Amino acid sequence: MAVVLDSVSKIYNDVPVVKDFSLQIHAGEIFGLLGPNGAGKSTTIRMLTTLTKPTSGQIAVADFDVVTQARQVKRSIGVVLQQISVDMDLSVWENMEFHGRLHHLPQPLRKQRIEKYLDYVGLLNRQQDAVRGLSGGMMRRLQIARALLQEPQMLFLDEPTVGLDPQSRRRLWEIIRDLNTQGMTILLTTHYMEEVEALCDRIGIMDQGQLIALGTLAELRQEHGEGLLVKQIEASHNQNQGSLQWDYQFFSTLAAAQSHLDQQADRVGMMVRPTNLEDIFVELTGRNLD
């Protein structure tokens, strides 16, 4: 297993943020970790990357304990944070050079890998450019190149495409898929449901510090229903009177949802469609990611 969390809890100021959390991530898979704000997702990532120690339980990444073998864990992982963390005043090459030296890569190998990974993310021809002149997508690709310098076994991507235009997002998707094809294990957090549907082998959904759902998209759809009846309803008297709301009813199959719709005398404001990940997420958590 690439990652094992066993009954992990984290408490801040007597408030449990992560509660008895257990999870296994297989080597070579892309795993999507979802959760609304405050679900404990970021704290979990911080524990996995050795930035925060768990209050109780055990965590192993690449077969190393994150508390007692933190240095070995750091050598085995690459991390791309949501926040832009490259130095704006340095050039693309200088950012890579600085990071390579922090990891004590010897000069010949450092130069070779910098060229290799800048070329891989399409930035080799921008190596002398100051980072502040790059687009958001280029900065994110630079962060990925930097994370790959030590050639980690596992890559943590924390909302890597947030704020990017569709073209830049798709380019990062291609990079993520290609890295995974080469055998890299990837843990991805994102607020874009279509990103998870397009990239992830398995999905875990967190809420209030706990894992509330786990499986492939097909397994989650099968468990909660593959067909959805959407009905437009008028808001109740106690709410914004006159405004419209939506009611969602899950069915085991799309055909079952359609059959139910066909039996309705009044079908105005009703429609049937396949269930997607966002439908399941909202059903489980009671709110959108935002």
**Which pair of tokens denotes residue 182?**
């080469």
| Pair 129, 150 in one domain | yes
| Pair 203, 77 in one domain | yes
| Pair 187, 232 in one domain | no
| Pair 157, 20 in one domain | yes
Q: How far apart are the first and last CA of the chain?
A: 31
| Mean pLDDT value across the chain | 91
| Pair 71, 208 in one domain | yes
| Pair 166, 252 in one domain | no
Instruction: Judge whether residue 290 has pLDDT over 50.
Output: no
| Pair 231, 195 in one domain | no
Q: How far is CA 110 from CA 16, 88, 98, 149, 230, in A?
A: 42, 21, 10, 8, 56
Q: Is residue 201 part of a domain?
A: yes
Count up the domains in the chain and report the number: 2
- Residue range of the domain that includes 67: 3-216
The pLDDT of 68-86, averaged and rounded, is 91
Q: Is residue 133 part of a domain?
A: yes
DSSP label of 265: S
What pLDDT score does 32 carry?
97
Q: Is residue 290 part of a domain?
A: no
- 285's torsion region: left (phi>0), alpha (psi -120 to 50) or beta? alpha
Q: Is residue 289 part of a domain?
A: no
| Pair 164, 193 in one domain | yes
| Pair 58, 138 in one domain | yes
Q: Is residue 281 part of a domain?
A: no
Q: How far is CA 72 from CA 50, 69, 170, 259, 261, in A?
A: 10, 6, 33, 57, 57
Q: Is residue 95 part of a domain?
A: yes
Q: Is residue 208 part of a domain?
A: yes
Q: Evaluate whether 8 touches 58 at the Cβ level (below 8 Å).
A: yes
| Pair 144, 270 in one domain | no
Q: Per mean pLDDT, which range of 2-11, 81-90, 132-141, 229-238 is the poorest? A: 229-238
Q: How confident is the model at residue 265 (pLDDT cuts 50, 70, 90)?
A: confident
Q: What is the CATH number of the domain that holds 118?
A: 3.40.50.300
